[in-house]
Amino acid sequence: DAKTTQPTSMDCAEGRAANLPCNHSTISGNEYVYWYRQIHSQGPQYIIHGLKNNETNEMASLIITEDRKSSTLILPHATLRDTAVYYCIVRVQFMNRDDKIIFGKGTRLHILP
């Protein structure tokens, strides 16, 4: 089972910031939070990841709460091309044999013109 809980769907107006929440209350100390997105049946695409500090790259920002039980992915200026399913995943960084990358059902983000 996925270790994360995300809303099924969200809407965001084009040009506004899209804030996608994720709950991961059972996260372990060595587990990272990863975000991927999948645009219309294409292969999922990596966005960003973090352990406990906030992270930013050219695509998005990741805000992780101090207790690490939840996080928010922020797309600062959403465009229509950001319409996709966004997956929040918890996983260790160094993978051993029993470690898997488990996807939940994600959040379907609709960017509205």
Partner 1 sequence: EAQVTQNPRYLITVTGKKLTVTCSQNMNHEYMSWYRQDPGLGLRQIYYSMNVEVTDKGDVPEGYKVSRKEKRNFPLILESPSPNQTSLYFCASGYRTNTEAFFGQGTRLTVV
Check residue 77 for interaction with partner 1 (CB under 8 A): no
Task: Pick the stretch among 10-18, 20-28, 69-77, 93-101 that binds partner 1 (CB under 8 A).
Answer: 93-101
Per CB under 8 A, the list member of 13, 80, 101, 112 interacting with partner 1 is 101
**Cα 27 from Cα 14, distance rounded (Å):** 33
Residues 16-35 that bind partner 1 (CB under 8 A): 34
Which is it for the CA torsion 23, 55, 98, 102, positive or negative?
positive
CA atoms within 13 A on the CB side of 60: 25
**What's the min distance (Å) between Cβ of 70 and partner 1?**
20
CA atoms within 13 A on the CB side of 95: 8
Contacting positions for partner 1 (CB under 8 A): 34, 36, 41-46, 49, 87, 93-98, 100-106
